[in-house]
Amino acid sequence: MLRWPGRVALLLFGPVFGYGVAGLIGGALPANAGWRPPADGVRIYVESNGVHVGLVVPKVAAGVDWRGIAPGADLRDPRYGGYDHLAIGWGERTFFLETATWADVRLGTVLAAARGSDATLMHVEHVPAPRVGGRSRSVLLRPAEYRRLAAYIRASLAPERTRYRGYDANDVFYAARGHYSAVQTCNAWTGDALRQAGVRIGRWTPFPLTVTAWF
């Protein structure tokens, strides 16, 4: 029988441990198991900063044109609109807006987001094509797969297109749709987008590793 300190520790850390194990298992079980990259197609990128994984997509490819949806005119410095790619990530609004740097992260903000929030944003950066290696992985998609990916991203944007100031001169936030929680994290959203496109990816991808390990 556990003494009371052990019971307290189990009560506090048991759910966290269970969540971690479940996330790793979900990330290891493949969806679209038969998918293989084509010999030629649309090149996108999966990019991680160690905590958050997002997608980098070309502005114009396979009949998809993002320039009218995320125009350079929305940026503090519209000149960055000349870059040919967008880095796109989805997440909880308060966490996004109040944590411009890792030094700004507060436990209360993290816990509030994990409990669940319907206030979500899409973070969009105008960037050049990233270099592959380190934090960036290259993924080649068939044109139809890329169009499905783009459709999923577009469906995550709120119809009212409310805009919020970004962290720097080349990025901006847009109002999004969807419920953020410990289950549906920013990384789970990225995995969902790739899964909807038809890419081989884990069935549930709440952590960065559960996305990037597939590429």
Structure token digits, residue 202? 């884990």
Q: What is the pLDDT of residue 51?
A: 87
Q: What is the pLDDT of residue 16?
A: 79
Closest CA to 61 of 46, 74, 45, 47: 45
Domain coverage including residue 52: 4-212
pTM of the model: 0.88
Q: What is the pLDDT of residue 8?
A: 47
Q: In total, how many domains does the chain have?
A: 1
The rounded distance, in Å, linking the Cα atoms of 31 and 117 is: 27
Residues in contact with 69: Cβ distance below 8 Å, sequence separation at least 6, in sequence order: 154, 157
Structure token digits, residue 196? 């909807």
Residues in contact with 15: Cβ distance below 8 Å, sequence separation at least 6, in sequence order: none
Which residue positions in the chain have pLDDT lower than 70?
1-14, 100-114
**Helices (DSSP H) in the chain: which residue ranges?**
4-28, 93-98, 107-115, 143-155, 186-197, 208-212
Q: What is the pLDDT of residue 111?
A: 61
Measured CA distances, 130 to 154, 157, 168 (Å): 22, 24, 18
Q: What is the pLDDT of residue 110?
A: 57
Closest CA to 31 of 215, 210, 202: 202
The rounded distance, in Å, linking the Cα atoms of 77 and 157 is: 22
Q: What is the pLDDT of residue 41?
A: 97
Q: Is the dihedral of CA 79, 80, 86, 90 positive or negative?
A: negative
The rounded distance, in Å, linking the Cα atoms of 143 and 15 is: 42
The rounded distance, in Å, linking the Cα atoms of 86 and 97 is: 19
Question: Is the separation of the CB atoms in 57 and 190 below 8 Å?
Answer: no
